[in-house]
Amino acid sequence: MFGMISLQQNTDIIKKTAARLGFDYCGVARVQKLDQDAVRLEQWLKKGMHGSMSYMENYFDLRIDPEKLVPGARSVITLLKNYFPSEKQVAGIPKISTYAYGHDYHEVIRAQLIAFLDLSKEKLGDFHGRGFVDSAPVLERTWAQKSGLGWIGKNGNLINKQSGSFYFIATLIVDIELLYDDPYAKDYCGTCTRCIDACPTGAILPGNVVDGSKCISYYTIELKDMLIPDEMKDRFDNWMFGCDTCQDVCPWNSFSRPHAEPLFNPLPGLLNLTTKEWELMTEDVFRKKFRDSPLRRAKFKGIQRNLAFIKKED
């Protein structure tokens, strides 16, 4: 009985700490090797659906086995943080994915994960753990599903039935046992194919497969020092950085509500920048204006390349 009470108390502390730091959802799963995901990932890589993102071929064993990241790992804690904006860009200007409106989420959430671990250790005692936010070989959407936070939709995004998919996912792997949430077993996408039908480049395939090498986000962010293929001309729907089309058409995102994180608010003037203003921007101004923004990932040269490509659609 004492053990169960302790597990319940420890889990309550974990979840209350998550809420205190501004995370919208927290779920916990038991550590296990992800054998089914290993098969799917291997097939996806063999088909070249990662394009030039060769880093995805690295650390394969770490991606499917949390104990290789944290020796003695017992639990995987998944945190969701809303980034749905209260306002969007004006019509007719180069479009930017909403996740990039504010400060770089890597930096924002990384600091919160450090605080999460520190506060948890104050209550629970010392333990070993590591936090990750889209920057390490962790299959975070699988762990979110196993933690009961939602299902993985046809567009590859984690979808929460109450709030949609506009969430950043953070993962903590720890060597303490907790009470585990039931995995999310049902897929509520049903027969809906809106994301498949709406994808401008046909990157979303039947069978819950996303060809990353055809995604607009891949072309505008991940494709480095290369020209965008001519066959994609007139298919970007004016997206300059990333793409939200599959989320914008998803019925479950009708339940999305604006986030409460000040650092995710749009950078000054970002929602109104015209094509001409982007074109006239110097590299020095770009670096200063977007030094804390996800847009710096594409770099000045990448942004200018993307602008030139979507301008051909005019």
Q: Parse the chain into domains and list their residue ranges.
A: 1-314
- Least Cα distance to 123 among 75, 83, 176 occurs for 176
Burial of 251: CB neighbours in 10 Å, binned 0-12, 13-18, 19+ = middle
Residues classed as catalytic: 134
Residue 78's SS3 state is strand
CA distance 244 to 89: 12
* pTM of the model as a whole: 0.93
CA distance 120 to 118: 5
CA distance 307 to 84: 25
Check if the beta carbon of residue 125 is closer than 8 Å to that of residue 181.
Answer: no
- pLDDT by residue for the chain (314 residues), tens digit each? 345 558 999 999 999 999 999 999 999 999 999 988 888 888 888 888 888 777 776 767 788 899 999 999 999 999 999 999 999 999 999 999 999 999 999 999 999 999 999 999 999 999 999 999 987 778 999 999 999 999 999 999 999 999 999 999 999 999 999 999 999 999 999 999 999 999 999 999 998 899 999 999 999 999 987 899 999 999 999 999 999 999 999 999 999 999 999 999 999 999 999 999 999 999 999 999 999 999 999 999 999 999 999 985 44
Hey, what amino acid is at 226?
M
